[in-house]
Amino acid sequence: MTGVLDRPLLLVGCGKMGSALLAGWRESGIVAAGVHVVEPMGVGGVAAGADVRAVTRVDDLPKGLDPEVVVFAVKPQQMAEVAPPYRRFVKSGTLFLSIAAGTPIRFFEEKLGRDAAIVRAMPNTPAAIGRGITVACPNPRATAAQSALAKSLLEAVGEALIVGDEALLDPVTALSGSGPAYVFLLIEAMTDAGAAAGLPRELAARLALVTVAGAGQLALESADPPATLRENVTSPGGTTFAALQVLMAKNGMADLMKQAIAAATRRSRELAG
């Protein structure tokens, strides 16, 4: 982790993702200089604390506030209205970090000015349990130290990677951003198929859920790549072999996944404008 912040962090939007980040930052101690939050609903529960000062409107922030980082965690459709008043924090040394899906760096350069140091990040929902993966891209104004700081802040909710090419964030959105939904669908499909094969639905649902979670964890912890793990459980002529002949046939799972991720990538590009 890259040190701790010398100046306060300003979090704009403390919904699902903002509060997950806030919890992670406090646990890691990276926000030692305190956190200011702007959230129309106010913050309560675990988000409240002596180190967190929350206001409901940007105009209510302390006059002399000089944040080291401003984190935007509002919905993309709210961003055009939300971002402009934060232009007053643009100065050398203040980093703007956005986690808004599909909102490109140029949008923030338009709203905040070309002098703003910006990192655009794409997290995913397992961030809520500290198991997310985020890919982030800095603009040319962001220094290497600011990119490293953004990475550390994002690591509060899982893994984080920095890339230099913003165009990668469209396929990233399609793979890891939307990816949890594909896994949930896999669990649903396995449940339905198990029930259709004669299992009580509740048993099928539990078997599907724990199998997906356990296999994912095994793949994560194993030194072998997923293909080797798959081959290890596939005896020629056995039951897994019979199933994989269906799943790996032409127009099977690999082809479908390619089409699905291509469709999501195209949609991400369309949404970014």
**Which spans of this chain sit near ligand NAP (rule: CB under 6 A)?**
12-18, 38-41, 73-76, 78, 82, 99-101, 123-125, 177
Which amino acid is residue 245, in one-letter code?
Answer: Q
Q: How far apart are CA 215 and CA 250, in angstroms?
A: 24
Q: Which is nearer to ligand NAP, 139 or 173 (CB)?
A: 173
Q: Do strands 52-55 and 69-72 pair parallel, antiparallel, or not at all (unpaired)?
A: unpaired
Q: How far apart are CA 11 and CA 238, in angstroms?
A: 54
Q: How far is the CB of 237 from ligand NAP (least distance, A)?
A: 43
Q: How far is the CB of 70 from ligand NAP (least distance, A)?
A: 11
Residue facing ligand NAP at closest CB distance = 15
Q: How far is the CB of 250 from ligand NAP (least distance, A)?
A: 33
Q: Which is nearer to ligand NAP, 82 or 116 (CB)?
A: 82
Q: What is the 3-state secondary structure (H, E, C) of 219-243?
A: HHHCCCCHHHHHHHCCCCCCHHHHH
Which sign, positive or negative, has the C-alpha torsion 74, 76, 78, 83? positive
Q: How far is the CB of 110 from ligand NAP (least distance, A)?
A: 17
Q: How far is the CB of 120 from ligand NAP (least distance, A)?
A: 11
Q: How far is the CB of 72 from ligand NAP (least distance, A)?
A: 8
Q: Which is nearer to ligand NAP, 14 or 52 (CB)?
A: 14
Q: Which is nearer to ligand NAP, 123 or 138 (CB)?
A: 123
Q: Which is nearer to ligand NAP, 15 or 29 (CB)?
A: 15
> Can you read off the two tokens belonging to residue 226?
């997923």
Q: Which is nearer to ligand NAP, 124 or 147 (CB)?
A: 124
Q: How far is the CB of 5 from ligand NAP (least distance, A)?
A: 20
Q: Which is nearer to ligand NAP, 100 or 205 (CB)?
A: 100
